[in-house]
Chains A and B, each alone.
Chain A
């Protein structure tokens, strides 16, 4: 499974590469983040949460039925705003409060 990194939005801060549990993200020649082996990604979303520029999105690969929706996350205090961008451009947002426990 994997992530896509928006090379325009990426500021090259290197935080995603620092915390990736698989050490999969490195800097490319221009100092921007790139994932060396996308197939090695576990889809844990650690990099999405760490990225201050919101440049990283998670997607489902076609082999798992993915149809192109991108998932991004923005942190605001204890809130995590998860944003789904569908291929037709429509959006869905789900906000999770870290101070609110799972009901199930």
Chain B
């Protein structure tokens, strides 16, 4: 296999919302050489592929970043890092202004202010947000974009990071990427749990199914500290299409009703977790299924809703068109998705300091891969990217190159997979086994999001077996090699996740997960569950709540 070595001042891993914004921030800060590495193509990769039609993190008129911290704190039942949410919230409106300058369409009222949907939310046409970002990145001469390169490991000595190793997704090339500062912006993890639909619709999921948790996995393997993985995210979605519900609920005023037509939202509270919990509880009480019902819509309003969904989830509009035309009300059955690990909505991810440096020096995290800062959404992921970039530049010249055995080790491993003529199991079969184990024993949708210690122990044992089995897989080509690496990343994340689920002996977010052995929320558990991989075992670290607006690592 051919090998290419590249050196840069800043290496950004992942070219989604956070990664592209980090690259643009680097160009604004006049960084000489930026390498942005992306496993697909930055034009449409990551969460923004289909588009978005609102920015959910914005500080509306009459409100402050501190208000945003309180909102996030309440929604997460207290478990946030206030320093992270505050520093993110302070930059939200500047990010939105920058996006408008890039060409993003934002709805305005008659006085020229952004039209707000509630105080944290503005309406946009974000169908082309990703292409706009990608075009801006391509226009920066200092940024080299490596599309179709899948990063598999860091250049690290266990204390710091000074680059990464990747493989071509199409061409048999190994990439050794060296930089004194690395920003991980790979996104979160989908595909760990069995999805809502089987077979031909298995990727009809809320989160980008191509986000395999690789950034978490590489950090875990290099010994980085992770936080709050047990706070999984379950999204409330339109049944079958798994399209967003917020546009119907917040935008068109649709109410969440049960089978008897009762509006029951008040019973379970208005937190993100509470809404999901309500759907589940109504079902258990025999009052399911739940629906979102919007009535007395004019033909113009229906047309506008059709358009809104075409801009972010076209399958929903397709489904409505297939169901027929003459409607004045929309009634959509809703359901929870399978759980995801995603630091942009909940708090799971890298344990970072206020500057977004991980516990591995020289490695910074932004977006869904960074923990402690829920409710960041698209604009918050970008705000975080800018914070991480500024910290990454600080003192970068003082960090020398690292002599790492990783390129040789990764190459030998890849060549083993590629050199094997065939294997008994396929990568897809092992992925299915992972999803079944997590679904049944670690609180998947099939288990009503509930779990207990005995099942988690069984899951741990099975994950170890699957990890061993994955070493015997065969890849006929580079795309198949990527699939093996993605599966192995998911297995690594799942193992840490199960350890976190075991460690938090309470139920803090019942919509996202129910610990049957410890079904209540306890004040004593208002602390962080963190972890680190040490000699092949996941070691749990409990940390007290961070207060105030600054947190530094104690090395």
Contact = CB atoms under 8 A, between A and B. Distances in A.
Contacts of B199: 39, 63
B543 to A, nearest CB: 35
A104 B322 contact: no
A8 interface: no
Contacts of A23: 39-40, 148, 169-170, 479, 482
A94 B310 contact: yes
A5 to B, nearest CB: 16
Interface residues of A, number: 47
Contacts of A84: 318, 321
B248 to A, nearest CB: 8
Contact of B321 (A22, A61, A69): A69
B318 A58 contact: yes
Given A44-B44, A46-B50, A64-B319, A100 B203 contact: no
A54 to B, nearest CB: 15
Interface in B155-213: 169-170, 197-205, 208-210
Contacts of A4: none
B200 A1 contact: yes
A97 B251 CA distance: 19
Contact of B127 (A43, A65, A86, A96): A96
Interface stretch (B300-308, B382-390, B433-441): B300-308
B485 interface: no
Contacts of B321: 69, 84, 92
A69 B325 CA distance: 14
B45 interface: yes
A28 interface: no
Nearest to A46: B44
A1 B203 contact: yes
Interface in A4-46: 18-23, 26, 36, 38-46
B124 A60 contact: no
Interface in B34-60: 39-41, 43-46, 49-50, 53-54
Given A19-B43, A60-B318, A104 B125 contact: no
B505 interface: no
A61 to B, nearest CB: 4
A63 to B, nearest CB: 5
Nearest to A71: B318
Contacts of B306: 94
A55 interface: no
Contacts of B317: 71, 82, 94
Contacts of B115: 101
Contacts of A94: 303, 306-307, 310, 317
B507 interface: no
Contacts of B311: 96, 102
B252 interface: yes
B128 interface: yes
B106 interface: yes
Contacts of A99: 105, 125
A21 B40 contact: yes
A103 B304 contact: yes
Nearest to B107: A101
Contacts of B41: 18-21
B105 A101 contact: yes
A96 B307 contact: yes
B240 interface: yes
A67 to B, nearest CB: 5
A46 B199 CA distance: 22
Contacts of B105: 98-101
Given A42-B210, A98-B128, A104 B308 contact: yes
Interface of B: 39-41, 43-46, 49-50, 53-54, 105-107, 115, 117, 123-125, 127-128, 147-148, 169-170, 197-205, 208-210, 240-241, 247-248, 250-252, 303-308, 310-311, 314-315, 317-319, 321-322, 479, 482
Given A101-B115, A103-B251, 14 more contacts: A39-B201, A39-B203, A41-B203, A42-B50, A60-B315, A60-B319, A63-B197, A63-B199, A65-B322, A82-B317, A94-B317, A96-B311, A102-B125, A104-B247
9 closest Cβ pairs, A-B complex: A104-B251, A101-B107, A44-B49, A46-B44, A102-B53, A44-B50, A61-B200, A64-B240, A21-B45
Interface of A: 1-2, 18-23, 26, 36, 38-46, 50, 58-67, 69, 71, 80, 82, 84, 86, 92, 94, 96-104
30 contacts: A19-B40, A19-B43, A21-B45, A21-B208, A23-B39, A36-B479, A39-B203, A42-B209, A43-B50, A45-B314, A50-B44, A58-B314, A60-B319, A61-B201, A63-B197, A63-B198, A63-B199, A63-B201, A64-B241, A64-B319, A71-B317, A80-B127, A94-B317, A96-B125, A99-B125, A101-B53, A104-B53, A104-B247, A104-B248, A104-B305
